[in-house]
A and B are shown apart, each in its own frame.
Chain A
């Protein structure tokens, strides 16, 4: 398996534009996570899905952020409209949830810069 695949790897956009980040989890995994990492706040969990259903979105900063998982092999994180403070590295991770173990596998991240 190629691991968790995120696209794009880098994104530069102007303030006010819509940004869509994409994630393909590892085949067979049933949990998917979106994290954001900045120098100031570290790694923050934004939202996680189990069996394509959002379980906890308490980390989503505000209504400008939305995430979807239309099927087991694809998820998106959308920011509309984007702001400079959204600049960060966004990581997607997936795991096979067994209750006893959550070994999450992370993608390489998308570095977002909003100017």
Chain B
């Protein structure tokens, strides 16, 4: 599986957009980009995933660059409850394995 690189931590003001970057420069054509988050002491929670097109759901938007070597998770209006560790993962479509990296710790402040 391709490796991902994320900043260890980020801050965001409540109500503002949180943009979390992820580098996956060695991604292969059959690998999906997944985002999960983990709120303190809870199990990880699925957010969104994509292959090459931008995706949006009720939680977030995922922007994948044209060369697919990086992506950005966007939380359009961050709230205090969005404070969590966010994981960017790449997964080969033919396997169910999700390999978590170290993630980005997002702190949303009032």
Q: Which residues of A contact B (CB under 8 A)?
A: 4, 31, 33, 35, 42-45, 48, 50, 55-56, 89, 91, 93, 95, 97, 99-109
Contact = CB atoms under 8 A, between A and B. Distances in A.
Interface stretch (B21-29, B43-51, B60-68): B43-51
Given A99-B93, A100-B93, A105 B98 contact: no
B97 interface: yes
Interface size class of B (residues with CB under 8 A): 20 to 34
Nearest to B94: A99
Contacts, number: 55
Interface of B: 34, 38, 41-46, 49, 87, 91, 93-94, 96-103
A101 B42 contact: no
Nearest to A58: B97
Given A93-B43, A108-B43, 13 more contacts: A31-B96, A33-B98, A42-B100, A43-B87, A45-B97, A45-B98, A50-B96, A55-B96, A103-B46, A106-B43, A106-B44, A107-B43, A109-B42
